[in-house]
Amino acid sequence: MMKRDDCLKALARHVTDADIVLPVYSTAFDWITIRPHPLNYLSHGAMGLASSHGLGLALGRPDKRIIVLDGDGSLLMNLGTLVTVAEVAPPNLYHFVCENGTYEANGGHPIPGRTNLDFAGFARSAGYRTVHTFTDLKIFEQQIGAVLAEPGPVFVDLKIVTPGPQERDYSRIHGPHVRKAFREALAAG
């Protein structure tokens, strides 16, 4: 099992200024601290929709890598997205799920089926081109660069521990200034 912020720091070393990253909820607050950037797409409007926004971005901007940092509870709210993404098969979409078995932003309650679920299995059977599972940080650090060089859609299950309390100022991800900055950055290149 890994710490989420360690995984995100490792990932950030391979994310370029051209990439669009869509982190959700608790992951978003970690990510914007580790890698603040106007091409962080933070406003998803409803739980579970990050990968759907990501698919739209992937279709509209095939020149950019789209990196979705989903949560396990979020993905459970929109499991059909795995099927849709796999059918559309955008080569520039990278779909990570940070799996800690809890609705972390909503009180830390367990997700249903936490001991039985196989998110990588879901993605594989839905038809993602490549599926990875990581439980060891050193291996993740060694392989993440190569993973992001693979043609998508790629699914990556990160097995993480639940971190401690986190300060969450939701205006940092839902505020209109965030979307304005993203829109301007995307239009600029």
Partner 1 sequence: MQVSAQMAGETAALAGGGIIAAIKASGIDYVVSVPDITTSEGLLRPLARTTQPRLIRVCKEDEGIGICAGLAYTGKRALLLIQHTGLLDSINAVRGVAVEYALPICMMVGLLEKEPGVPPRQSKRYGVRIVEPVLEAMGIPYHEIETDADIGKIKPAIDGAYAGSHPVVMLVGRRPS
Q: Which residue lies nearer to partner 1 by CB, 87 or 118?
A: 87
CB 61 within 8 A of CB 121: no
- CB burial of residue 87 (10 Å; 0-12, 13-18, 19+): exposed
| Binding to partner 1, residues 76-95 (CB under 8 A) | 78, 80-81, 83-84, 87-88
- CB burial of residue 112 (10 Å; 0-12, 13-18, 19+): exposed
Q: Which residue lies nearer to partner 1 by CB, 82 or 148?
A: 82
Judged by CB under 8 A, which stretch of 94-102, 111-119, 128-136, 175-183 contacts partner 1? 175-183
Amino acid at 59: L
Binding mask 44-63 for partner 1 (x = CB under 8 A): xxx-xxxxxxxxxxxxxx--
If one asks whether residue 35 binds partner 1 (CB under 8 A), the answer comes out as no
The residues that bridge with 2 in the sheet, in sequence order, are 160
Does the bond joining 38 to the residue before it have cis omega, within 30 degrees of 0?
no
Q: How far apart are CA 114 and CA 92, in angstroms?
A: 29
CB of residue 162 to partner 1, shortest distance in Å: 26
Q: Which residue lies nearer to partner 1 by CB, 74 or 100?
A: 74
In the complex, the residues that contact partner 1 under the rule CB under 8 A are: 41, 43-46, 48-61, 78, 80-81, 83-84, 87-88, 179, 182-183, 186
